[in-house]
């Protein structure tokens, strides 16, 4: 088994203490950081995402696998930055104001990073003003919002309306998710896309970026 | 005073009978009314938290307005976990939320307040005050007899632990250190158990317990079976043994692949999440018949803003919601739910949503639920006049 496969397997097997060392080993062997990202980290998280969708992995396994991936990514980051590595797009993520649930948000953030996107995670209980500032500051392509509570879901519409008022809505794609959400809510709020879980959020983000670049 | 000769079934009689598998005039309605009463009086959650008499007033007047069959106390996770050490924040119109979990390392266990007295510690006495005041007020309005039951709440050990460690840390512990997860649940168990006993002592008539962290959306069936379910069952059995009240369990989320295990928790009633109603009825009935369960009723499960998790056996749009659907749609769902639960003959239906009814539900949608119970849920087959 080559080192790329070993990295991939360590992530899928949730060996978060092994993945950074293997990644360093791959760099030491002269492999390019982008190649490690594309051929080990991205496919590993794709597999983990599929396993979640199939019901063979669950939130605990997803969290630990994502941490294993982040451990590897942290080794790669200085190299990716130094080489001016490709950024496929920038995403600002946050759970809406009044909602402190952020497990899903963290998973989405890690999945998107694993998919090669630049991610800014604002965390839980994010106000519309904080979303707006972050989009401007980071020149984001996508805004991702999460809500777990039926009482906080409508905040998503507030944020989208706020982006419109401030002339930013056309510049950024908006994706939403969270256990209580569905496509009907997403449409009602005026979002560009809805993803039911972290794995599909990654697919959706790529689709929205492709639409944006047309 | 005029002596009425009318012999009406009271909400108390209707609810308690259903939870014991018995029929009265019709199926009862329980909507876990957190927001409807507050909105009816124009109150925020924080206002009613800061002044518990407002909560009592809202519950009483809300029930009188909507005519559902049960009232509730604050029904939230805060007071116990807060006293143990988790820092909460209190938004203006949301339930309290975790700001800082109490336990990040094993050392933190020593700093926690595991010994608690619900009658005097933290905000727990406030919850007990609400129950006592509800009881007084209901008896007063019933001219000496309580006509509407009070349902109180208890947190299963797995949920309590997640509130103490933070949910993501709890999920990691399940994989990385299950022995510590078990130890934490053993520590958490008596805290909410003491609270539930005090709630019943204060006057609550029914208790519901819930677990939102062991669903198939969260952990594997194997982890549920080996780690969290045994503690859930122990919690429910201990409440029954010590208090004798009827117990409802809310498996929150999608539990399709483990409803057989849930049924073995020995609750009288399962308040179903957004699950296929026919599948759940079949699995619970199967466990009852095998002698592994003692379920008498199912509470649910009209869409309350939840993802669709039906496996296709029931033609219900589980993603439809109490606050998005029309009254006609709600009535249609209610009809299907009543039929699915009652047609087997052994289980009683307690009609309601599939989680706490959310905020901003149009009042007409609550009316539709009660109307449907009166129209489709009568045991003599005749709609109420």
Contact A194, A147 (CB under 8 A): no
Q: What number of CA atoms fall less than 13 Å from residue A191's CA on the CB side? A: 30
Could you tell me if A151 lies within 8 Å of chain B, comparing CB atoms?
Answer: yes
pLDDT at position A52 is: 84
What average pLDDT does this structure show over B144-173?
95
What CATH number corresponds to the domain at position B251? 3.20.20.210
pLDDT at position B316 is: 64
Of B168, B216, B324, the CB nearest to A63: B168
Q: Of the ranges A72-81, B105-114, B222-231, B359-368, which one carries the lowest mean pLDDT score? A: A72-81
What average pLDDT does this structure show over B109-114?
96
pLDDT at position A180 is: 72
Of B91, B167, B172, the CB nearest to A98: B91
Q: Is residue B140, in this structure, part of any structural domain at all? A: yes
What average pLDDT does this structure show over B6-29?
94
Could you tell me if A70 lies within 8 Å of chain B, comparing CB atoms?
Answer: no
The token pair at B220 is 């594997």
Bigger pLDDT: B17 or B323? Answer: B17
Residues A56 and A99 in one domain: no
Q: Of the ranges A172-181, B79-88, B298-307, B343-352, which one carries the lowest mean pLDDT score? A: B298-307
* Residue tagged 């490690």 (tokens): A36
Residues A97 and A195 in one domain: yes
**CA pseudo-torsion sign B192, B198, B202, B207:** positive
Whether the per-residue pLDDT at B290 is higher than 70: the answer is yes
Cα–Cα distance, B71 to B330 (Å, whole number)? 21
- Residues from chain A that touch B220, judged by Cβ atoms under 8 A, are 58, 61
ipTM of this predicted structure: 0.85
pLDDT at position B191 is: 97
Contact B209, B239 (CB under 8 A): yes
- Closest Cα in chain A to B320: A184
pLDDT at position B78 is: 87
- Closest Cα in chain A to B356: A150
Whether the per-residue pLDDT at B318 is higher than 60: the answer is no
Helix (H), strand (E), coil (C) string for chain B = CCCCCCCCCCHHHHHHHHHCCCCCCECCECCCCCHHHHHHHCCCHHHHHHCHHHHHHHHHHHHHHHCCCCEECCCCCHHHHHHHCCEEECCCCCCCEEEECCCCCHHHHHHCCCCCCCCCCCCHHHHHHHHHHHHHHHHHHCCCCCCCCEEEEEECHHHHHHHHHCHHHHHHHHHHCHHHHHHHHHHHHHHHHHHHHHHHHHCCCEEEEEECCCCCCCCCHHHHHHHHHHHHHHHHHHHHHHHCCEEEEEECCCCHHHHHHHHCCCCCEEECCCCCHHHHHHHHHHHHHCCCCCCCEEEEEECCCCCCCCCCCCCCCCCCCCCCCCHHHHHHHHHHHHHHHHCCCCCEEEEEECCCCCCCCCHHHHHHHHHHHHHHCECCCCCCC
Q: CB distance A59–B217 less than 8 Å?
A: yes
Phi, psi angles (nearest 5°) of residue B201:
-60, -35
Give, for A3, the enclosing helix (H) or strand (E). helix A3-12
Give the other-Cβ count within 10 Å of B370's Cβ.
Answer: 20
Name the residue range of residue A200's domain: 90-213
What average pLDDT does this structure show over A11-29?
95
**Rounded percentage of chain B residues whose pLDDT exceeds 70:** 92
pLDDT at position B147 is: 97
Could you tell me if A152 lies within 8 Å of chain B, comparing CB atoms?
Answer: yes
pLDDT at position A91 is: 95
Q: CB distance B319–A179 less than 8 Å?
A: no
Residues A70 and A118 in one domain: no
Whether the per-residue pLDDT at A208 is higher than 70: the answer is yes
Cα–Cα distance, B132 to B128 (Å, whole number)? 6
Domain boundary, last residue among A27, A51, A82: A82
Q: CB distance B176–A101 less than 8 Å?
A: no
Whether the per-residue pLDDT at A83 is higher than 60: the answer is yes
- Residues from chain B that touch A150, judged by Cβ atoms under 8 A, are 304-305, 321, 323, 355-356, 358-359
pLDDT at position B1 is: 57
Contact B260, B286 (CB under 8 A): yes
Residues 6+ apart with CB under 8 A from B134: B56, B59, B60, B71, B73, B150, B203
- Residues from chain A that touch B306, judged by Cβ atoms under 8 A, are 179-180
What average pLDDT does this structure show over B324-338?
90
Residues 6+ apart with CB under 8 A from B128: B118, B119, B198, B199, B202
Residues A106 and A10 in one domain: no
Residue-wise pLDDT for A87-116, tens only, equals 678 999 999 987 767 778 888 888 888 778
Of A64, A99, A179, the CB nearest to B175: A64
CA distance to partner chain B, nearest, from residue A155 (Å):
13
Q: Give the total number of structural domains in chain B.
A: 1
The token pair at B345 is 């003959």
Residues A64 and A115 in one domain: no
Residue-wise pLDDT for B248-273, tens only, equals 999 988 898 999 999 999 999 999 98
Whether the per-residue pLDDT at B128 is higher than 90: the answer is yes
Residue-wise pLDDT for B176-223, tens only, equals 999 999 999 999 999 999 999 999 999 999 999 999 899 988 899 999
Contact B133, B152 (CB under 8 A): no
Residues A207 and A106 in one domain: yes
CA distance to A52, B33, B285, B336, per residue, from B279 (Å) = 23, 26, 10, 13
Residues A97 and A126 in one domain: yes
- By C-alpha distance, which of B241, B93, B236, B284 is closest to A152? B93
Residue A21's pLDDT band, with cuts at 50, 70 and 90, is very high
Contact B118, B108 (CB under 8 A): no
Of A58, A150, A182, the CB nearest to B219: A58
What average pLDDT does this structure show over B137-160?
96
Q: CB distance B175–A179 less than 8 Å?
A: no
What average pLDDT does this structure show over B315-333?
77
Bigger pLDDT: A189 or B309? Answer: A189
Residues A183 and A115 in one domain: yes
Whole-structure pTM over 0.90, yes or no? no
CB pairs under 8 A between A and B: 76
Whether the per-residue pLDDT at B378 is higher than 90: the answer is yes
CA distance to partner chain B, nearest, from residue A51 (Å):
12
Residues A60 and A112 in one domain: no
- Residues from chain B that touch A179, judged by Cβ atoms under 8 A, are 217, 253, 306-307
pLDDT at position B6 is: 60
Q: Is residue B11, in this structure, part of any structural domain at all? A: no
State the alpha helices, DSSP H only, in B306-376.
327-342, 363-376
What average pLDDT does this structure show over A34-60?
87
Q: Is residue B381, in this structure, part of any structural domain at all? A: no
pLDDT at position A193 is: 94
Whether the per-residue pLDDT at B108 is higher than 70: the answer is yes
Q: CB distance A100–B171 less than 8 Å?
A: no
Q: CB distance A63–B359 less than 8 Å?
A: no
Residue B374's pLDDT band, with cuts at 50, 70 and 90, is very high
Residue B7's pLDDT band, with cuts at 50, 70 and 90, is low
Residue-wise pLDDT for A130-145, tens only, equals 999 999 999 999 999 9
Could you tell me if A63 lies within 8 Å of chain B, comparing CB atoms?
Answer: yes
Residues A105 and A55 in one domain: no
- Residues from chain B that touch A55, judged by Cβ atoms under 8 A, are 216, 257
Q: Is residue B17, in this structure, part of any structural domain at all? A: no
**CA pseudo-torsion sign A208, A210, A213, A214:** negative
Which letter does DSSP use for residue B378 in this model?
B
Residue-wise pLDDT for A152-176, tens only, equals 788 899 999 999 999 999 999 999 9
Instruction: Return mean pLDDT, chain B.
Output: 91
pLDDT at position B157 is: 97
pLDDT at position A191 is: 95
Of A63, A180, A196, the CB nearest to B305: A180
Q: Give the total number of structural domains in chain A.
A: 2
What average pLDDT does this structure show over B347-366?
90
Q: CB distance B171–A103 less than 8 Å?
A: yes
Cα–Cα distance, B133 to B146 (Å, whole number)? 12
Strands B87-89 and B97-100 come out as antiparallel
Q: CB distance B175–A61 less than 8 Å?
A: yes
Cα–Cα distance, B289 to B287 (Å, whole number)? 5
Ramachandran class of B92: left when φ > 0, alpha when ψ lies in -120 to 50, beta otherwise: alpha
Q: Is residue B15, in this structure, part of any structural domain at all? A: no
- Residues from chain B that touch A13, judged by Cβ atoms under 8 A, are none
Q: Is residue B19, in this structure, part of any structural domain at all? A: no
Bigger pLDDT: B73 or B96? Answer: B73
Cα–Cα distance, A147 to A98 (Å, whole number)? 9
pLDDT at position B99 is: 87
Name the residue range of residue B173's domain: 27-376
- By C-alpha distance, which of B211, B96, B112 is closest to B153? B211
Number of H helices and E strands in chain A, helices first, is 10, 5
Instruction: Return mean pLDDT, chain A.
Output: 88
Q: Of the ranges A79-88, B59-68, B285-294, B310-319, which one carries the lowest mean pLDDT score? A: B310-319
Of A151, A180, A188, the CB nearest to B94: A151
Residue A42's pLDDT band, with cuts at 50, 70 and 90, is confident
CA distance to A16, A142, B33, B339, B351, per residue, from A191 (Å) = 35, 11, 30, 37, 33
pLDDT at position B310 is: 60
Could you tell me if A187 lies within 8 Å of chain B, comparing CB atoms?
Answer: no
Which strands form B246-251's sheet, in the order they lie side by side? B71-72, B150-155, B206-211, B246-251, B269-271, B297-302, B348-353
pLDDT at position B309 is: 60
Domain boundary, last residue among A60, A82, A104: A82
Q: Which of A150, A154, A157, A194 to mutate to test the interface with B (most CBs of B within 10 A)?
A: A150
CB burial of residue A180 (10 Å; 0-12, 13-18, 19+): buried
Domain boundary, last residue among A56, A82, A108: A82
Residues A95 and A151 in one domain: yes
What CATH number corresponds to the domain at position A10? 1.10.1240.10
């Amino acid at each position: 088994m080559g080192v790329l496969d070993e990295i991939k397997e360590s992530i899928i097997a949730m060996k978060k203490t092994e993945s950074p060392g293997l990644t360093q080993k791959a760099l030491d062997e002269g492999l390019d950081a982008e190649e490690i990202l594309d051929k080990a980290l991205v496919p590993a998280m794709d597999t983990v995402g599929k396993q979640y969708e199939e019901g063979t992995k669950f939130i605990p396994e997803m969290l630990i696998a994502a941490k294993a991936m982040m451990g590897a990514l942290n080794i790669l980051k200085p190299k990716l930055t130094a080489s001016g590595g490709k950024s496929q797009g920038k995403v600002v993520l946050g759970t809406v104001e009044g909602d402190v649930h952020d497990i899903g948000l963290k998973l989405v953030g890690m999945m998107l990073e694993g998919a090669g996107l630049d991610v800014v995670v604002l965390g839980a209980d994010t106000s519309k003003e904080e979303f707006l500032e972050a989009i401007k500051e980071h020149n984001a392509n996508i805004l991702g919002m999460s809500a777990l509570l039926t009482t906080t879901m409508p905040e998503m519409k507030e944020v989208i309306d706020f982006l419109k008022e401030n002339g930013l809505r056309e510049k950024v794609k908006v994706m939403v998710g969270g256990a209580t959400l569905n496509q009907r809510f997403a449409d009602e709020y005026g979002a560009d896309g809805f993803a039911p879980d972290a794995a599909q959020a990654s697919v959706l983000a790529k689709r929205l970026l492709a639409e944006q670049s047309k | 005073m005029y002596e009425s000769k009318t012999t009406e079934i009271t909400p108390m009689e209707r609810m308690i009978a259903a939870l014991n598998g018995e029929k009265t005039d019709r199926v009862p309605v329980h909507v876990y009314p957190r927001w409807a009463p507050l909105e009816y009086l124009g109150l925020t959650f924080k206002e009613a938290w800061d002044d518990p008499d407002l909560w009592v007033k809202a519950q009483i007047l809300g029930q009188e307005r909507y005519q559902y069959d049960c009232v509730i106390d604050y029904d939230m996770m805060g007071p116990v976990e807060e006293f143990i050490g988790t820092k909460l924040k209190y938004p203006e119109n949301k339930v309290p939320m975790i700001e800082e979990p109490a336990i990040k390392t094993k050392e933190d266990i020593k700093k926690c307040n595991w010994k608690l007295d619900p009658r005097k510690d933290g905000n727990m006495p406030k919850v007990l005050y609400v129950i006592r005041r509800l009881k007084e007020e209901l008896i007063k309005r019933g001219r000496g007899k309580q006509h509407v039951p009070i349902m109180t709440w208890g947190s299963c050990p797995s949920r309590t632990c997640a509130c103490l460690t933070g949910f993501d840390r709890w999920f990691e512990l399940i994989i990385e250190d299950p022995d510590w997860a078990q130890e934490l649940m053993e520590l958490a168990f008596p805290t909410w158990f003491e609270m539930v006993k005090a709630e019943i002592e204060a006057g609550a008539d029914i208790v519901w317990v819930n677990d939102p962290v062991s669903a198939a959306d969260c952990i594997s069936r194997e982890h549920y079976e080996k780690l969290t379910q045994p503690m859930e069952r122990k919690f429910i059995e201990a409440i029954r043994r010590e208090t004798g009240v009827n117990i409802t369990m809310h498996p929150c989320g999608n539990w399709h692949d483990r409803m057989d295990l849930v049924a073995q928790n020995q609750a009288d009633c399962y308040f179903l999440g957004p699950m296929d109603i026919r599948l759940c009825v079949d699995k619970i009935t199967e466990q009852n018949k095998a002698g592994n369960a003692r379920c008498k009723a199912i509470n649910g499960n009209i869409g309350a803003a939840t993802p669709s998790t039906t496996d296709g056996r029931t033609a219900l749009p589980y993603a439809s919601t109490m606050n998005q659907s029309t009254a006609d749609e709600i009535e249609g769902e209610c009809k299907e739910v009543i039929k699915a639960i009652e047609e087997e003959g052994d289980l009683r239906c307690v009609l309601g949503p599939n989680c706490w009814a959310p905020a901003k539900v149009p009042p007409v949608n609550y009316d539709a639920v009660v109307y449907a119970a009166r129209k489709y849920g009568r045991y003599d087959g005749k709609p109420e006049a």
